[in-house]
């Protein structure tokens, strides 16, 4: 398992702590310290089964200043997340070929039970 984690986010910390408490082995990826590549984002979107725009945090300052009201293509949104990783919803929990955005925590619980 993997968690794409931002320690500054309370929801991300909640999922991180939950995974620790369950005792499941997981890898932590701090995507703000090591931004994701286009290929990594494309692979995550396939596992999440959502279009790129649904992974965008629309309340984030980078979104409001650079993208609000704009219509971007799938690759355009992916490029935006590569350039501005704070735009990426968090946390993302990956188990095999499936992934969820870990908010609410029930989504993480459901993924673990699959």
Catalytic residue numbers, as ranges: 9
- Determine the Cα–Cα distance for residues 68 and 107; give it in Å rounded to an integer: 28
- Determine the Cα–Cα distance for residues 20 and 3; give it in Å rounded to an integer: 11
- Determine the Cα–Cα distance for residues 51 and 42; give it in Å rounded to an integer: 9
- Determine the Cα–Cα distance for residues 113 and 41; give it in Å rounded to an integer: 25
Q: 104 preceded by cis ω (within 30°)?
A: yes
35 DSSP assignment: P
């Amino acid at each position: 398992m993997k968690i794409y984690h931002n320690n500054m986010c309370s929801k991300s910390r909640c999922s991180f702590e939950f995974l620790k408490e369950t005792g499941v082995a997981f890898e932590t990826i701090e995507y703000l310290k090591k931004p994701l590549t286009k290929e990594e984002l494309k692979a995550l979107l396939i596992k999440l089964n959502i279009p790129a725009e649904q992974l965008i945090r629309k309340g984030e300052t980078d979104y409001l200043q650079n993208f609000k009201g704009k219509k971007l293509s799938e690759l355009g949104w992916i490029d935006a997340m590569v350039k501005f990783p704070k735009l990426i919803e968090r946390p993302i929990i990956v188990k095999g070929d499936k992934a969820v955005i870990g908010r609410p925590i029930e989504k993480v619980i459901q993924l673990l039970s699959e």
